[in-house]
Amino acid sequence: MKKFDNYKSNLSVLSMAGNQDLSNDFIISGIIDMFNIQFELGWKVLKELLFYEGVSAASTGSPRQIIKEAYRFYSCIEEDIWLQMLADRNDNAHIYSKTAARRLVNQIIENYIPVFQKLESSIESQYESILATLA
């Protein structure tokens, strides 16, 4: 599945965020941008998998709807954290404060990256035999 390959590739880069110079505004901005991409890939991978599983909401669902359906369908989804990621993704376009940006980066490093990694591991485990065949 191409989206999952992109998900894993982006996550491998985002996972290095904690090793970067977090006093550098350019690095902070890059981490936030990578988070936005990772979140988009995440909910879209979930959408594809729900569609594969025959969940009707997957055909037209918004990110919020897909997250809620994925929470019902997959035990690895922590709905409250994914919904917080959605809110942060939506709000971060309006971050003009260095303090708020750094707070978001800390949230990404401490809470969101592990959740993305948990999803990656769960998908690889649950769909190992069919990942290559999914479009």
Domain spans, the chain = 2-17+31-126
Per-residue pLDDT, 134: 66
Per-residue pLDDT, 54: 92
Q: What is the mean pLDDT of residues 100-106?
A: 94
With 0-12 / 13-18 / 19 or more C-beta atoms within 10 angstroms meaning exposed / middle / buried, residue 42 is buried
* pLDDT tier for residue 47 given thresholds of 50, 70 and 90: very high
End-to-end CA distance of the chain, in Å?
A: 5
Tokens linked to 101:
């940006």
Per-residue pLDDT, 135: 55
With 0-12 / 13-18 / 19 or more C-beta atoms within 10 angstroms meaning exposed / middle / buried, residue 35 is buried
* Geometric angle at alpha carbon 47, from 43 and 50, rounded to 5°: 135
Q: What is the mean pLDDT of residues 75-104?
A: 91
Question: pTM of the full predicted structure?
Answer: 0.92
Per-residue pLDDT, 58: 87
